[in-house]
A and B are shown apart, each in its own frame.
Chain A
Amino acid sequence: MPRILLDGQPVDLPAGALLAAALGCPPVACHGLAGAPRGPLCGMGQCFECRVTLDGREVLACLTPARDGMVVRRG
């Protein structure tokens, strides 16, 4: 069972989970241009609304499998 660090907080995820599973319900990942919170829309790598920062790189939480020890930051 992977444990990741999301915004400094540990989150335990089921085996085989995507990073998107850590974003809460409703899932929140980033902000729009005007600063309003945004969450995943398409779940399929098309809308880019689930973008998070992983090891300094922007990744899509809906396409990225969670691995133990990942350090993830929401934008």
Chain B
Amino acid sequence: MAERLRILVAGAGPAGLAAALAAEAGGAAVTLVDALPEPGGQIWRGRWSAPPGGASAPWFRALRASAVDLRLGRRVVTAPAPGRLGLTGPDGPEILAYDRLVLATGARERFLPFPGWTLPGVLGAGGLQALVKGGLDVRGQRVVVAGSGPLLLAVAAHLRQQGARVLLVAEQAPAAALLGLAPGMLGRPRLLVQALGFLGLPLCLGAWVTQVTGSDRLAAVQLATPGGPRVLEADLLACGFGLVPNLDLARLLGCAIRAGQVVVDPLLRTTCPGVFAAGEATGIGGVEKSLAEGRLAGLQAAGQEAQARRRLPAAERTRAWGRALERAYALRPELRGLAGPDTVLCRCEEVTLGDLQPFHGGREARLHGRCGMGRCQGRTCGPAAEFLFGWDPGGPRQPLVPTTCADLIGALSDPENP
């Protein structure tokens, strides 16, 4: 019997779960890695150890019944050789070898700078929700939810359910733009049911945060609304401007990237042989797209091309909704003018917009202004600078995240080829 293909899946959110299970069904030996302590990604965070239920239940059941080698709490830090990734985790550094790799690295929130955004109490919308799922107590806290995207209402509903006082949900997209989503909503009963959970939330469309004030923590949020400026005293601001794909690993491996997405063919092959991509990494589109693409990529990676091809129409259908959302929630140009010369853009290195005046591109700003050179390696300021100035976020450096020298040595040395 031929040796089984070793397939490594990076990311255990919906796309990674679907890819891992499909690849295993296709006959491969599958390893699934994720930085989080439990599978499910950001969207199904906290569901793994909760009583079974919801959309994640069948996937988790299948994963528990599978032989997928699940390695959690681990981050990819290096790509020391073709077919090898170096990781750090609770048991120290390790090198994983693979024949095929599926990138299911998901997305993170886009943050845009405004005066005061570094104050404690200002978090991402998904960011605050993630912490609340992780046990952060928000009972009685006054929260403003702001920014853009379908996540805002879902987060606001969750916070309200957890006992927070949601003062306002400020969506920057105007009502007219969101009306365009109505036909698509009608064809998606699941979304209509979800929308019922949003009833009674104080939603204001065409509104955005202009600045926040406070001394050592957030005290008040100032907003521009269609009815004029507003000031709300608040304990927390949950503010994110949509999602951006996580592309560090794809970039590190040399996969082609276009328009902020991994370039893939219909069978989800990247431009790197043996490397596939699925889910948010190929374009923001939500759970259904991630699951559909994950299945397809997993089958294709396992060499089951005929089965993968049968999945093509289903995967394509899920992409249309993502494109409709992108149009409806397009960011308004006013958001480029919120930050002043004293506003920090790069939080790690405390580089202000004024500091960036002399520079003409991201690379120059990195090399001469330290913008994006801190702990987060430009994950936060990169997408902001891209929106504000059109700067390319640039290629990542190894290690992908801050790593101790001891871990780095372990994540670079190949035990099979010392």
| Residues of chain A having any CB pair with chain B under 8 Å | 13-14, 16-18, 20-21, 23, 25-28, 32-34, 36-49, 51, 57-58, 62-66
Contact = CB atoms under 8 A, between A and B. Distances in A.
Contacts of A49: 347
B144 interface: no
Contacts of B108: 42, 44, 46
Given A16-B49, A16-B135, A41 B402 contact: no
Contacts of B380: 41-42, 46-47
Interface of B: 35-37, 42, 46, 49, 73, 75, 108-109, 111, 118, 120-124, 126-131, 134-138, 141, 216-218, 235-236, 246, 347-350, 374-376, 379-380, 402, 404
Contacts of A27: 120, 123, 131, 136
Contacts, number: 123
B133 to A, nearest CB: 9
A37 to B, nearest CB: 5
B236 A25 contact: yes
B235 A41 contact: no
B217 A43 contact: no
Nearest to B73: A63
A65 B108 CA distance: 20
Of A16, A57, A66, most B-chain CB atoms within 10 Å: A16
Given A27-B131, A63-B73, A46 B376 contact: yes
B120 A20 contact: no
Closest 9 CB pairs of A and B: A17-B135, A21-B135, A26-B121, A43-B130, A18-B134, A43-B127, A39-B120, A48-B375, A26-B120
